[in-house]
Amino acid sequence: MSWLSKLLQTSHPVVRVLIYWFLSLLAGLAFTGMLLTPFLVSGQTRFAMWAGLCAIFLGFIAATFLAWLWYGDDAGSVTLGFKNHRWLKGVSGGLLSAGAVVLLVLLIYAAGLIQFGSFSPPTTAFYSVYTASVIFLTAAIEGLLLRGFPIQSMTRKPYPESWLVVLSVVYVLLHSGNPGYFWLSYINIFLMGLWLSYATLAAGTLWYSVGLHTGWNLSQTLIFGYSGVWSDEALWSLFPVTVMGNSSWLAGNDSGIEGSVMTTILIILLISYERTRWLRSLSS
């Protein structure tokens, strides 16, 4: 098994990332069998997604621990990406992205492309908390998959921006089945992948980009009622949005603002900001 030992000890970042993803898959499947089966057997299918996401999240943590054991100090205990207890950056990231979504939706509203429904009080808060936890787990899993160990593995080389493009393509593939998405939606998802990657590098912690991702999806779902992949008849939103006419390329659609050209402009500005912060951190 000398070939296996050499493979595990390789210094090539791509090989390490592929091994990490494979370990995450195996561990995720194992945890899924333990956590998901009881919900399916009892017929509680509503919580099956939540249990499955918890299982996948635990799988990534287990794979990270194994990677740390194999690669030692070279991988470091910060492989997970949540380093130095910088969880407050996650909170700031969530507030920043939620504010960006609110600003963008207000601009779309000012252009007469959407209408707001009447204020809806939180009559079903339990399921909203459930949805919020699902959104957070999804953001954390995608962060670990694409911006935790993968980014830390490739940052040994200076300015590894071509690797960020590859990770963003994988990010698009993960969203290829989202309902209501069209060509502009996928362009914006690709740009969002770059934005979140640069944000991780600039902040030096995965908390920040997970917060950005969570705040983006959470504000769309629970404030403005965009369904996306989180549609549920029991959910409420504070100011439900209705898209007017056939202007999805400007206003987005019921699935979210990812299909708006205004979103494209916003994300390009955010990419420029985070990339500049990252380059400044390298020079200092």
Q: Give the per-residue pLDDT at 75.
A: 45
Exposed, middle or buried: residue 92 (CB in 10 Å: 0-12, 13-18, 19+)? middle
Give pLDDT tens digits for 188-239: 999 999 999 999 888 888 889 999 999 999 888 888 877 665 555 445 677 7
- 3-class SS of residue 1: coil
For the chain, how far is it from start to end, CA to CA, in angstroms? 44
Task: Tell me the domain boundaries of the chain.
Answer: 1-80, 82-283
The number of angstroms, rounded, from the C-alpha of 36 to the middle of its chain's C-alpha atoms is: 22
Across the range 179-194, mean pLDDT stands at: 89
Range from 44-48, 163-167, 278-282 carrying the lowest mean pLDDT: 44-48
**Highest mean pLDDT: which range of 5-9, 252-256, 277-281:** 277-281
pLDDT value at 77 more than 50: no
Phi, psi of 82 (to 5 degrees): -90, 75
